[in-house]
Structure 1
Amino acid sequence: MVTGHHAAAGHPAAYVGPLTLAWVSRHLATGERVVAAEALQGGITAAMRRLTIGAADGSTRDLVLRSFVDPLSAGHAEDWLNRETDALTLLKGTGVRAPGLVAADPTAAHCEHPSLLMTHVAGRTALEDEGVETRVPLLARQLVEIHAVRPAERPREYEALTTAESVVVPKGADAAVWDAAIDVLRSPAPPYEGCFLHRDFQPGNVLFDVPPARPAAARITGVVDWAAASWGPADLDVAHCSTVLALLHGPAWGLRFTEAYQEAGGVLAATPGERLYWQVRDGLACSEEVRAVARPWREAGRTELTTRAVEERLDAYLTALMDASV
């Protein structure tokens, strides 16, 4: 029995502890074993590792191990992993391409940390500006498909933790605009028709196959990270993806995504004021975590997206939303 596994490069983030390795091994077919582990980029709250599974005949397959190793996340890990387990079970057999569930240990009863083992989905995140005009309609159609899923048992209601007091106004932002946006947040949430939400649908959680010479031929291969799956207004998922697109590619792409979702057949709140509430709520929520959001983007190659640059884009996007509402 191997008592711990590193990737060939020895990256500490690829390390799989002996208890977790033994747990993974119990969920493999006879004759299979873990032969390599590689750290995957992009996770903010959890460590993601791709495990290469070798069979007796020399063939291999990949699984993905998601472990909540951050002590700050430990209190939420059980809830998140139970939600993800339920979501992956629900999505099996639907048209939504998501990882297949292999095993889950939400309370770390068997592993060093709360963990989830799932099938590997081919593809990569596409965070570059090139090809965004092709990917935005694909993202919109994918989100419409997610919202069309009808769970037999409704997941728990969405959570929105941001308050008027928790908003972080970027340095140099137009105080009047932000005050007006925060006033929107103080209003009661509009009534809504609920649907199944991913709750963190954005380019970092969508995998693409992008032919190197033909970015316009991109296609989605899967959607990952279902730990916040819940029930709520479609506007909330749309607003979140819009905000992230605005920060990644510029404010115009945030505004464009809302149009693309409706063009794909998605239905949003009935009035502009109701739609604005959800758009502003998500933009203000992002104000609290700009640093955490920008770091993995820089690690993925978008080195120009400093915390300051992302703050400026958030300010410009929120200003565009408020201007459009006048």
Structure 2
Amino acid sequence: MTNHDEVAAVRPLTLAWVSRHLDAGERVVRTQVLHGGITAEMRRLTIGTRHGGTRDLVLRTFVNMEHAEDWLNREAAALTLCTGTGVPAPGLVAVDPTASHCEYPSLLMTHLAGQTVLGDEGVETRVPLLARQLVAIHALRPAQRPREFVALTTADTVVTPQGADAAAWAAAIEVIRKPAPPYEGRLLHRDFQPGNVLFDVPPPSPAGTRITGVVDWAATSWGPTDLDVAHCSTNLALLHGPAWGLRFAEAYEEAGGVLAAAASERLYWRVRSGLAFSEQVRLVSQPWREAGRTELTTRAVETRLDAYVTALMNALA
């Protein structure tokens, strides 16, 4: 039975566009809002087939976002690149980056099994899996490079948390005043972190955990592998504690990944990522609380960020 109220939640022009990309005899019978994203509306669409079964697709819509066309073009290119590679990304069904057919720029893709896992339990099992997956992403070779990465944080925009180690933060800020180190570019996911990775965690223990998908490829860029590693490291530090942020870089190298040779270069990228989070702690932590990590208040995350930046300066400076 079709739930007309839920289906109506998809805007009319967009629903018509989706319908044109379904197989003969298929129709959207149900929609479900997917929570956790920051920049886009995400909906799971249940498709009724002509044989009485169902399958799921995911609709990604950018509403009044300045760079929607660029983001959707990059995501479409990345999903196409991943097809057949072993990197478990969604399959591209259709994309309307300029809203020629939909109310807003949209992308339709296949739905992947699995779930995000943000809790502390089993983190020691997931970190090596994350590292191996990121190495596989960096091994992809696109026929056409995506645009060069963009780093918006500067030494003058960093927000030092209240009560932070002033000396450590001052030293960290001086690190990113310097020009970026030279690097050999690779394809970057640019937002590879636990919130964008799907896992299958069979009960009763996490021993058989495996990755089933990597999502949100809209920021795909070209740049140093250190930058992706630094971003995931910072997320792990804020979710699970600074030690896990430091551990991820080690796990990446253990999995065959290559980082900058000089400690000063590694420090630059990791500190740059940590300091970038200082400007958006509230924005980053809210989806984590909505996902059940209610103890990760803005203040708690700021405290962990301070501890992580200090640990980086102690370990690499």
TM range (shorter): over 0.9
Distance in 1, Cα, partners of 2:84 & 2:99? 28
- Report the counterpart of residue 248 of structure 1 in structure 2: 239
The answer on whether the counterparts of 1:5 and 1:16 sit within 8 Å (CA) in structure 2 is no
Q: TM-score, normalised by structure 1?
A: 0.95
The answer on whether the counterparts of 2:135 and 2:255 sit within 8 Å (CA) in structure 1 is yes
Does residue 268 of structure 1 match 2:262? no
| Structure 2 residues not aligned, in runs of 5+ | none
Distance in 1, Cα, partners of 2:206 & 2:106? 35
| Structure 1 residues not aligned, in runs of 5+ | 8-13
Task: Report matched runs for 1:132-211 at 5 Å.
Answer: 132-211=123-202
Task: Report matched runs for 1:3-82 at 5 Å.
Answer: 6=6, 15-69=9-63, 71=64, 74-82=65-73
- Report the counterpart of residue 278 of structure 1 in structure 2: 269
Q: Secondary structure at the match of 1:75?
A: coil
Shift of the alpha carbon at 1:325?
2.4
- Report the counterpart of residue 100 of structure 1 in structure 2: 91
Q: Secondary structure at the match of 1:294?
A: helix
- Report the counterpart of residue 289 of structure 1 in structure 2: 280
CA shift digits 1:171-217 (9 cap, x unpaired): 11111111110100101100001111100000000000011312121
Q: TM-score, normalised by structure 2?
A: 0.97
Q: Secondary structure at the match of 1:52?
A: strand
Shift of the alpha carbon at 1:157?
0.7
Q: Where in structure 1 do 4 or more consecutive aligned residues deviate above 2 Å? A: 2-5
The answer on whether the counterparts of 2:135 and 2:252 sit within 8 Å (CA) in structure 1 is yes
1:231 paired residue among 213, 218, 222: 222
Shift of the alpha carbon at 1:5?
5.0
Q: Secondary structure at the match of 2:66?
A: helix
1:44 partner amino acid:
I
CA shift digits 1:30-66 (9 cap, x unpaired): 1000000001121110011100000122110000000
Distance in 2, Cα, partners of 1:3 & 1:324? 56
Distance in 2, Cα, partners of 1:311 & 1:280? 15
The answer on whether the counterparts of 2:4 and 2:29 sit within 8 Å (CA) in structure 1 is no
Change (3 A) 1:132 1:3: closer
